[in-house]
Amino acid sequence: MSAAELAPQDDLRHDWSREEILALFDEPFNDLLFQAQTVHRRHFDPNEVQVSTLLSIKTGGCPEDCAYCPQSGRYETGLERESLLPLDAVVEAARAAKAKGATRFCMGAAWRAPKDRDIEQVAEMVAQVKSLGLETCMTLGMLTADQARRLRQAGLDYYNHNLDTSPEYYPQIISTRTYEDRLRTLEHVREAGMAVCCGGIVGMGEDREDRAGLLQQLANLPKHPESVPINLLVQVEGTPLHGREALDPIEFVRTVAVARILMPASRVRLSAGRGDMSDEMQALCFLAGANSVFYGEKLLTTDNPEADADRRLFERLGLKFSGACH
């Protein structure tokens, strides 16, 4: 039984106010990290990290206008469009990920929303990857209730659908999909019986109030997401957000710590942007309660620290790979 299963659940709340969350952000850094680490230890082994690998199974050409995304067909980023990968290529990548220590295999497709015929193809990918003994995760855009049920029938464990930012800042980032659209997909995923992977992106020009607003939305969902990816914006030339001022690393660590306090039993994942983080910054994030990472050379289309570099960092910090996914 995991530490999370043994931990008390009476600190799980779904009624956080914006003022309470901003007060956490305002705490002295040492006090905030101490509180986050205390919460973390009640629910998890503090020296264990769950590892996932992400593969782009269909790249580029997305009709949406997400200002951070090089896969949008609206921006000239030099990204080559690729069709849906064949099944054998996906299975081969999953085998390689497992051999390097990954316990969850995530597959992402640049769609606004998949068609029913697409669902049948990716359902076979889920079944094959699942047969390797890996947990499965997908991010395919918006889902109908029927599509979510079909993916669950195929064995999909997790569905990723990020809220990206606060409801107030969201219109500055995306106009082609509403916040309500995203929440509706999360409802379909929950109703189908899948676990939810849902987080956001920081460093997009938002302020602290918006970071608090994002975490408030996540923490006040009817059930906390099982995985909460905290992405640091990777600036890609050609996208509208290229050239934004970089987020202060300490503010990023604060965001991780507040996420841990608000969602004590969730995996808080360091996702995009790790390639721009120093080892020391990542170490602070683990101290603040991050206990999951994406692992491998690519996150969809942006660079990620290589697996061997991650292993060396884990060894220096005395961290071990999670033997079982949460």
In the residue annotation, 312 being an active-site residue is answered as no
Q: List Cα–Cα distances, 140 to 25, 107, 111, 112, 259, in angstroms.
A: 33, 8, 6, 7, 25
Q: How far apart are CA 59 and CA 81, in angstroms?
A: 5
In the residue annotation, 197 being an active-site residue is answered as yes
Name the active-site residue from 150, 152, 197, 285: 197
In the residue annotation, 81 being an active-site residue is answered as no
In the residue annotation, 62 being an active-site residue is answered as yes
Planar angle of CA 298, 104, 321, nearest 5 degrees:
90
In the residue annotation, 285 being an active-site residue is answered as no
Name the active-site residue from 211, 260, 269, 274: 269
The DSSP code for 232 is: E
The identity of residue 138, as a single letter, is M
Q: End-to-end distance of the chain based on CA atoms, in angstroms?
A: 11
Q: Mapping DSSP to helix (H, G, I), strand (E, B) and coil, where does residue 101 land?
A: coil
Cβ neighbours around 157 below 10 Å, total: 21
- HSE at residue 157, side-chain half, CA atoms within 13 A, is 18
Planar angle of CA 259, 51, 102, nearest 5 degrees:
160
Name the active-site residue from 69, 198, 285, 325: 69
47, two tokens: 């020296």
Name the active-site residue from 95, 104, 106, 182: 106
Which residues, including other chains, have CB under 8 Å from residue 40's CB and lie 6 or more apart? Answer: 46, 260, 264, 289, 291
Across the chain, how many H-helices and E-strands are there?
11, 12
Cβ neighbours around 284 below 10 Å, total: 21
In the residue annotation, 198 being an active-site residue is answered as no
In the residue annotation, 106 being an active-site residue is answered as yes
Name the active-site residue from 137, 198, 285, 325: 137
Name the active-site residue from 18, 42, 62, 274: 62
Q: How far apart are CA 326 and CA 320, in angstroms?
A: 15
Active centre residues (catalytic):
62, 66, 69, 106, 137, 197, 269
